[in-house]
């Protein structure tokens, strides 16, 4: 059976190597997360507002003038 302490020390050295940060590597950091979170909240608010306004819109179109039994005036369209 393999020694558990050897595998634990190997895992610990992997974590230590991950903790060493390269100073030349650029990361977004906390400021990038805050900006992203604010933008996500703004989009969520806009979508919620849009849904509220879209529920108020009446999509029923008025009936065509020629469908109520009276002939439509076609002379105005020809000129």
State pTM to two decimals: 0.45
Residues, the chain: 79
Q: Each residue of 3-56: pLDDT tens digit?
A: 556 565 655 555 556 556 677 888 889 999 999 999 999 999 999 999 999 999
End-to-end CA distance of the chain, in Å?
Answer: 97
CA angle centred on 5, ends 3 and 7, rounded to 5° = 80
What is residue 61's predicted lDDT score, i.e. its pLDDT?
Answer: 81
- 56, containing H or E segment: helix 29-56
Which position has the higher pLDDT, 44 or 78? 44
What is residue 37's predicted lDDT score, i.e. its pLDDT?
Answer: 98
The torsion angle over the Cα atoms of residues 61, 64, 68 and 74, rounded to 10 degrees, is 170
């Amino acid at each position: 059976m393999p020694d558990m302490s050897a595998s634990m020390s190997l895992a610990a050295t992997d974590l230590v190597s991950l903790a060493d940060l390269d100073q030349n590597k650029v990361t977004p950091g906390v400021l990038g997360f805050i900006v992203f979170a604010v933008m996500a909240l703004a989009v969520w608010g806009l979508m919620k507002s849009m849904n509220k306004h879209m529920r108020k819109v009446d999509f029923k179109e008025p009936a065509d003038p020629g469908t109520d039994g009276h002939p439509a005036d076609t002379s105005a369209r020809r000129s």
